[in-house]
Amino acid sequence: MVSAKHRTPEYAAERKRLRPIVDNGDGWCAETICLEERDGKTRWIPPGSPWHLAHDRGDEGFLGPAHERCNSSEGGKRGNEARNGVRWWSL
């Protein structure tokens, strides 16, 4: 499901602006914690790999491209915080 903030003209424009940069091999993960980083050596997003547009946590602006895995993990953490720190454990 796509949230409302992902359907805004601003979101679409920023994603469109960044697409050629990532497709040309010049995309770097903008998330604070990069899960694809290996030995502190790279945050590079390989062309053709799935990527998301990372959001700024403060003013709801955009940070830049991010690995799909990194952005999804960050979103999950923020969702958990929004539930007042309630943790859901899989059984």
C-alpha to C-alpha distance for 27 and 57, rounded to whole angstroms: 20
Give CA–CA dist 68/73, Å, rounded. 9
| pLDDT value of position 48 | 93
Domain contains 14: yes
**89 lies in some domain:** no
Domain range holding 44?
4-82
What pLDDT, on a 0 to 100 scale, did the predictor assign at position 21? 97
Residue-wise pLDDT tens digits, 24-65: 999 999 998 888 877 667 899 999 999 999 888 776 789 999
**Total of domains in the chain:** 1
CA distance 70 to 30: 9
In a domain, 88, yes or no: no
Q: Say whether pTM exceeds 0.85.
A: no
Per-residue pLDDT, 56? 82
Beta bridge partners of 52: 66
